[in-house]
Amino acid sequence: MSAREEVLARLRTARDAGAPRTPLGDVPRDYRRRGEHDPGSEGALVQLVERVEDYRATVTRVAGPDDVATVVARLLEDASSVVVPSGMDRAWLAAAGVRVLVDGEPDVLDVAALDAVDAVVTGAAVAVAETGTLVLDAAAPDQGRRALTLVPDHHVCVVRAADVVGTVPEALARLDPVHPLTFVSGPSATSDIELDRVEGVHGPRRLDVVLVG
Amino acid sequence: MSTTDLPTPVLRGAAPAHAPAGTGHLRGTRSFPAEARDALQDTQLRRNLGKATGVIRAKRQAVVDEVPDWEELRLAGSAIKADVMARLPELLEQLEANVVARGGTVHWARDAEEANATVLRLVREAGADEVVKVKSMATQETGLNEALEAGGVAALETDLAELIVQLGHDRPSHILVPAIHRNRAEIREIFLREMPDVDPDLTDEPRRLAMAARAHLRRKFLSAKVAVSGANFAVADSGTLSVVESEGNGRMCLTLPETLITVMGVEKVVPTWFDLEVFLQLLPRSSTGERMNPYTSTWTGVTPGDGPQAFHLVLMDNGRSGVLADPDGRAALHCIRCSACLNVCPVYERAGGHAYGSVYPGPIGAVLSPLLTGISGEDDPNASLPYASSLCGACFDACPVRIDIPNLLVQQRAASVESHRRPTGQDVAMRAARVAMTSPGRFTAAEKAMSLGRVLGGRSGRITALPWPASRWTASRDVPAPPKETAREWFARTRPGQER
């Protein structure tokens, strides 16, 4: 018998032998699917700002797309080079005085090149107000493959107000599970030494969020 | 004609099985009381543990209290897990089909040895002699690092706490924070001794230590060809795997190498993508006490242009079918390895994780380890684990999927007693009590003898050591000295002339 057949046969036998004495009911789904704030509402945005800042990341709110470039330029003051996914809105970088590398077919950067870049700018698929979480979808043109937001030490993430939802269930409902996804809540951090939180171990040590609208 | 080569009957091989002894880390060499007695002498360990568990308890309570539907989430999490156990073979087949459809390869392992051999073969086929590892309970359970080492492959732990444990030639002592028993001064010593390029002026400031680990691992991440991970969840209806972490070492391993090998216990499967909405709320708040952990990665098979272009999933039994076959015990498989039960347990807080022998310490380990391995007899160290509890119930209250750990502990105590052939100290004591209590004359004599106990108790009124066989009782606890007066003496004194 192959390992596959044997493990499955064992589990079938076990499942029947250990069947609970009372039959299972349906899964109770009485938990909240929606939060107290509607997606994109002022309440959701205020909560997102508070929760992201709690992770010691910064959030800058701007009124519209035209203001993004100014803020991004200021956030990238210390950087000499930045990488962006090929589908990102290049207007966001219009005011930044840095060398811009574009990653995407056919010009895919190797790991050494990524490691030499100071910062990365991307969009986000959805953000969760209650947990301060940004979700990056690798299939989205303005978010790029997963390595892009991992290797550079500074991540600037531009989030549209309409993409801010209240809860984790609302976020998952907007995502496609077969795309590679990265849920980001603050910068890289560890608490492994006497539970002292230290920001920045292997992922970006600095996370800045620009909230538009 | 040979009579020795009869084929093995198919059904025998299909019986649910315990994890075989000999490979992996599910059983220590000494009983819990023996290990705990030594651990209790280590004041540094007790200080480190007391501080750490206290901090996590407070953080966890604060973020759990801000969720208005916490109980509803726990009930949903518990029911999803019960449903998973009832449909486990079918869900695994569905998971396999979806992983394969998206370009991954699925392997099955009956036990730890087979899982390790599969990983070693895949690493060799990928042409690597070194792998980077994401922290994973499954591969700790199988002793994968040692197996790879024996096969000529170096396994590098990349989680900071796991790295501290690995460089310290030590064992993990907590599910979430494996180096919880070490303080900053000890960690500095380990780094200075074991990291070849470390700055000799390294201080014990946590930030400096974390940056030393970053520098130590950076080149490895950028050049590794093969990574090995575990999985927090695997979604049957999409084939999606998920790893929840904080440092980004997980993302490095899951993203940069050419080949990714994920080892998971079969119980980690969940039916649908939407079930993650429950567990991604329950897990971070229960484990690190955060609203959400810094990074969660999800991937499905292979995605051209993003991440490893070869993905292998190893689905491992290693005793889980044996646990599943136990109608009560199967609830232990609901565990999502958050470690909340460790941090609230008064026994864990004092004894520490090493005392449990297995990689699964604390209350959940005290039931899961003996369930996975089975109890081979009185001398089995895992037979002592269900007694490593005061049954205070704090673990049940903290468990995000409502595993009734106290009840499972009692069930496992019964199983442990049944596995004993020789009478225990308790059996001897109960037999003696029956002799005394079935005759009024003998009972009075026994009461007289009890007053002797007051002498043994001395001024403190505590008896710390009784002669054998009662020494087995006092080895791990003090006995209060008997009172001056027995109940029957008190009755005779306060109600003279009344019928007793």
Q: Helix B184-194 and helix B160-167: axis angle, to 10°? A: 60
Q: Does A26 touch chain B (CB under 8 A)?
A: yes
**pLDDT band (50, 70, 90) for residue B440:** confident
Structural domains in chain A?
A: 37-212 (3.40.50.10420)
Q: Give me the mean pLDDT over the B193-210 stretch.
A: 94
Helix (H) or strand (E) holding B259: strand B259-265
The C-alpha of B321 sits at a distance from chain A's nearest C-alpha, in angstroms, of 5
pTM for the structure as a whole: 0.89
φ, ψ of residue B259 to 5 degrees: the values are -125, 135
Q: Report pLDDT for B8.
A: 44
What length does chain B have? 500
Q: Measured between alpha carbons, how far is B186 from B45 in angstroms, rounded to an integer?
A: 11
Per-residue pLDDT at B435: 73
Calculate mean pLDDT across residues B136-147.
98
DSSP letter string over B211-232? HHHHHHHHHHHHH-SEEEE--S
* Contact at CB, A132 and B291, closer than 8 angstroms: yes
Please say if the pLDDT value at position B453 is more than 80: no
Place of tokens 């242009």: B305
Structure-token pair, residue A89: 């809105």
Q: Is the dihedral of CA B48, B54, B57, B61 positive or negative?
A: negative
Min Cα separation A109/chain B (Å) = 11
Q: Inform me whether the pLDDT recorded for B446 exceeds 80.
A: no
Whether the Cβ atoms of residue B175 and residue B339 lie closer than 8 Å to each other: yes
Q: Which two tokens stand for residue A212?
A: 């538009």
pLDDT band with cut points at 50, 70 and 90 for residue B9: very low
A95 in B contact zone (CB under 8 Å): no
Q: Residue B452 pLDDT > 90, yes or no?
A: no
Percentage of chain B lying above the pLDDT 90 cut = 78
Mean local confidence (pLDDT), B380-406: 96
Buried b (16+ CB within 10 A) or exposed e, A24-50: eeebebebbeebebebebeebbebbbe
What is the per-residue pLDDT for B462?
A: 66
Please report which residue ranges of B419-439 form alpha helices under DSSP H.
425-437
Helical ranges in B374-486 per DSSP H = 394-398, 405-418, 425-437, 440-457, 471-474
B312 three-state secondary structure: strand
> Nearest Cβ partner of B108 from A4, A17, A26?
A4
| Interchain CB contact of A150 with B (< 8 Å) | yes
Q: Given this model, what pLDDT does residue B197 score?
A: 87
Nearest Cα of chain B lies from the Cα of A43 at a distance, in angstroms, of 17
Name the nearest CA neighbour of B233 among B104, B337, B306.
Answer: B337
Nearest to A195 among B52, B235, B277 (CB): B52
> Measured between alpha carbons, how far apart are the two ends of chain A, in Å?
61
The one-letter amino acid code at A127 reads A
Q: In Å, how far is B134's CA from the nearest CA of chain A?
A: 12
Q: What is the 3-state secondary structure (H, E, C) of chain A?
A: CCHHHHHHHHHHHHHHHCCCCCCCCCCCCCCCCCCCCCCCCHHHHHHHHHHHHHCCCEEEEECCHHHHHHHHHHHCCCCCEEEEECCCCHHHHCCCCCEEEEEECCECCCHHHHHCCCEEEEECCEEECCCCEEEEECCCCCCCCHHHHCCCCEEEEEEEHHHEECCHHHHHHCCCCCCCEEEECCCCEECCCCCCCEECCCCCCEEEEEEEC
Q: Which of B254, B276, B317 sits opposite A7 (nearest CB)?
A: B317
Q: Please, are residues A76 and A96 in contact by the beta-carbon 8 Å criterion?
A: yes
B351 and B174 in contact (C-beta within 8 Å)? no
Q: Which residues of B fall within a CB distance of 8 Å from A131?
A: 291-292
Q: Report CB contact under 8 Å: A30, B278.
A: no
Neighbours of B8 (CB within 10 A): 8
**Is A203–B251 a contact, with Cβ atoms under 8 angstroms apart?**
yes
pLDDT digits (tens, 9 = 90+) for A31-61: 999 999 999 999 999 999 999 999 999 999 9
Are B13 and B326 a contacting pair, CB within 8 Å? no
**Candidate from B62-76, B176-190, B237-251, B430-444 with smallest mean pLDDT:** B430-444
- CB count in 10 Å sphere of residue B461: 12
Average pLDDT of the residues of chain B: 91
Provide the token pair at B392: 């205070």
Q: SS3 of B243, please?
A: strand
Whether omega for the bond prior to residue A180 falls within 30 degrees of 0, making it cis, is: no
Domains of chain B: 87-321 (3.40.50.10420), 441-495 (no CATH)
Whether chain B has a CB inside 8 Å of the CB on A162: the answer is no
The neighbouring-strand residues paired with B310 are B259
- Which residue in B80, B89, B184 is closest to A27 by CB distance? B80
Contact assignment for B292 to A185 by CB distance below 8 Å = yes
Amino acid at B416: S
SS3 (DSSP) at B179:
coil
Q: How many CB pairs under 8 A join A and B?
A: 269
Above 80 in pLDDT, residue B1? no
Chain A residues whose CB is inside 8 A of the B15 CB are 10, 13
ipTM above 0.90, yes or no: yes
The count of other CB atoms within 10 Å of the CB of residue A186 is: 26
Are B454 and B482 in contact by the 8 Å Cβ rule? The answer is yes
Residues from chain B that touch A10, judged by Cβ atoms under 8 A, are: 14-17, 317, 321
Quick one: which of B84, B275, B79, B176 has its CA closest to A168?
B275
Interface contact flag, A173 B108, Cβ < 8 Å: no
CB crowding B366-384: b at 16 or more within 10 Å, else e: bbbbbbbbbbeeeebbbbb
pLDDT tier at B310, thresholds 50, 70, 90: very high
C-alpha pair distances (Å), B228 with each of A40, B249, B439: 39, 12, 67
Mean pLDDT by 10 residues, chain A (213 residues): 96 94 90 96 98 96 95 97 96 96 92 96 98 98 97 97 98 98 96 88 95 95
Contact B13 A1 (CB under 8 A): yes
Average pLDDT estimate for B128-145: 97
CA separation (Å) from A139 to A146, A158, A173, A181?
A: 10, 17, 16, 9
Q: Are strands B295-300 and A181-184 parallel, antiparallel or unpaired?
A: antiparallel
pLDDT of residue B10: 46
